[in-house]
Amino acid sequence: MTRSPGTPPPRPASGATSRASFAADIEADGGVAALVSMLALGVPARDQRTGAGALAILGGGEGGPGYPDPDARYQDSIRAAGGIAALVRLLAPGGAAGVQRRAAFALVGLCASNPGNEACVRECGGITALVWLLAPGSPDGMQKPAAAALVSLCMNNPGNEACMRECGGVAALVQLLAPGGAANVQETAAWALAELCQRSRQAQHAVAADGGAAALVALLAPGGEDVLRKQAALALCYLCRGSPVGRASVRKCGGVAALVGLLAPGGAAEVQEAAAMALGPICLGGARSRDAIRAAGGAAALVGLLGAGGASRWALMALWHLTNEHPGTQESVRAAGGVAALVGLLAPGGAAEAHMFAAGALANLSATSAQNRASMTECGGVAALVRLLAPGGDAAACEAAVWMLSDLAGDAQGRGVLLEAGGVAALRGVVARGRPARAQPWAADALRNLGAAPGRRGGRPAADAQRCSRCARAGGPGR
């Protein structure tokens, strides 16, 4: 079957058979080489769009209904026929926006799961060309697809990511966040920065150096679109995750107060969740970061989110980090009713992860405060912790509970309540089972304290005066 040059090939249904039929049609019309020739400079824009779209379908991976999965055979044959280089040439300054948009999407599809094609795009100047399309003077509507294409090409390719940074790609993405820009472009740019920061420490440093923290914080201002504020908060989360440089940059530009402001009652749930997620890694920035969160009212705001849908999970993780060895925030959490709220999360039937982090946060709160230990006892926290030691329960939650109970067993009031709650039998059960292994010295220490004279404090072994093992490995944003 022969078509006129401007007639697009039919989009195949998903599946190998449909791809084979489509490929047969392409071969009947002159093969891959004929499609690549449609991309030549000087060919009508309609034909260029048709050729780029057909190559994307043949190679697969572009995404969306009707597109097959990536196929390396066709992807490689397109590269061998010069298709990658031809698509990159279409991205040069002066091209039609519709053609450039189709070429960018085609490159993403042809590079899906194909490192050879990803490298070819870089070698042909494609990364530089896409960065140019992020500039203010680029064709209308090209900034969003160019940003998405850059992320796709750099996501799992360190060479492409390094090239993107070296040619100013991070600075260009940050520039797209400037006030007055289109909200959908700002959202895509924030998403792109989040994806880059999530995967690369070098990208985190580049975003901080190019003013990305301040630009993202500005998007959190009241009155902004919720979807944009959510994406900006997520980008700040990944900027701070594991990066002292990122945390410092967010703190210095007022990001902590802005994120805490998003937690106010009545806000959109997805925005609150993203803000709580971002505060988790910021809490790991040391006393200055925790002081900033406390000063902005973050302790009370996080306590207020406990039990509130998806935001509760991240608020709980943030409180666990926030209360670790920081008396000031511990007092703020207690004053906000945090002890009772955390005990409430230990109720039977709750998620094992919630039990684990709630027990860990309670352990932080009680480690140096007799008042907090008393508050937890009054709220029924001891009995709730003892229940976590039952056979068949979650190992990490049991570990955190034993850690907490070992501290309580060294307190006169705590010993009495622990005895009444059946703590001796529960702790002996942990020792008898031999699991969790890390909890064994804490359980033995608690049992010694329970049988010792009043006032004796065994304390935790020095080597174990740290978070329980799986808590410390938990996959929240603070790791």
CA 82 to chain centre: 37
Evaluate whether residue 449 is within a structural domain: yes
Number of domains composing the chain: 3
When the pLDDT of each residue in the chain is averaged and rounded to a whole number, the result is 85
323 shares a domain with 421: no
Residues 367 and 287 reside in one and the same domain: no
DSSP letters of 421-454? TTHHHHHHHHHHHT-SGGGHHHHHHHHHHHTSPT
Residue where one domain finishes, among candidates 288, 306, 336 = 336
Looking at per-residue confidence, does 290 or 7 come out higher? 290
**Cβ-based burial of 56 (10 A; exposed 0-12, middle 13-18, buried ≥19):** buried
User: What is the C-alpha R_g of the chain?
Assistant: 28
What backbone torsions phi and psi does residue 475 show, to the nearest 5 degrees?
-90, 25
User: Would you say residue 66 has pLDDT above 80?
Assistant: no
Distances (CA, A) of 213 to 59, 146, 163, 189: 38, 22, 22, 13
291 with 430, same domain? no
Q: Which domain holds residue 288?
A: 210-336
Q: CA 177 to CA 143: how far, in whole Å?
A: 12
Q: Are residues 156 and 7 in the same domain?
A: yes
* Mean pLDDT of the 360-381 span: 86
Per-residue pLDDT for 377 more than 70? yes
Same domain, 270 and 143: no
**Confidence band (pLDDT; 50, 70, 90) for 162?**
very high
Contacts 24+ apart (CB under 8 A), 268-271: 268/226, 268/229, 268/230, 269/308, 269/309, 269/310, 269/311, 270/226, 270/230, 270/310, 271/226, 271/229, 271/230, 271/233
Higher pLDDT, 60 or 32: 32
> Which of 167, 197, 224 is the C-terminal boundary of a domain?
167
Identify whether 194 is part of a domain: no
Question: Residue 454 pLDDT > 60, yes or no?
Answer: no
pLDDT in tens, 239-274: 999 999 999 999 999 999 999 999 999 999 999 999
Please give the pLDDT value at position 8. 42
Say if residue 328 is in the same domain as residue 402: no
Please indicate, yes or no, if residue 173 is contained in any of the structural domains. no
Which of 414 and 46 is assigned the larger pLDDT?
A: 46
Residue 388 has a pLDDT of 93
Query: How far is it, in rounded angstroms, from Cα 135 to Cα 189?
Result: 12
Same domain as 385, residue 262: no
Is residue 172 in some structural domain?
A: no
pLDDT tens profile 14-23: 444 466 676 6
Res 203 pLDDT > 90: yes
Q: Are residues 15 and 156 in the same domain?
A: yes
301, containing H or E segment: helix 298-305
For residue 443, is it within any domain? yes
Cβ-in-10-Å burial (0-12, 13-18, 19+) of 11 comes to middle
Domain-ending residue, one of 290, 315, 336? 336
Flag whether pLDDT at 63 surpasses 70: no
**114 near 75, Cβ under 8 Å?**
yes
Residues 6+ apart with CB under 8 A from 390: 426, 429
Residue 350 pLDDT > 90 = no
Residue 85 sits in the same domain as residue 232: no
On whether both 317 and 367 belong to a single domain, the answer is no
pLDDT value of residue 443: 92
- My answer on whether 74 and 142 are in the same domain is yes
Q: Residue 403 maps to which CATH number?
A: 1.25.10.10
The predicted pLDDT at position 479 comes to 39
CB of 345 within 8 A of CB of 459? no
CA distance 407 to 98: 66
SS3 383: helix
pLDDT 10s digits, 101-127: 999 989 988 988 899 999 999 999 999
Q: Is residue 2 predicted with pLDDT exceeding 70?
A: no
- Is residue 202, in this structure, part of any structural domain at all? no
140 versus 190: which is more confidently predicted? 190
| Residue/partner pairs of 154-162 with CB below 8 Å, 24 or more apart | 154/127, 154/196, 155/195, 155/199, 156/199, 157/115, 157/118, 157/119, 157/122, 158/200, 159/119, 159/122, 160/118, 160/119, 160/121, 160/122, 160/127, 161/196, 161/199, 161/200, 161/202, 161/203, 162/202
Residue 192 lies in a domain: no
* Whole-number percent of the chain with pLDDT over 90: 57
Return the residue matching tokens 């040391």: 286
- Is 190 among the domain residues? no
Report for 51-65, 159-173, 324-338: range of highest mean pLDDT: 159-173
How close are the terminal C-alpha atoms of the chain, in Å? 58
Same domain, 365 and 453: yes
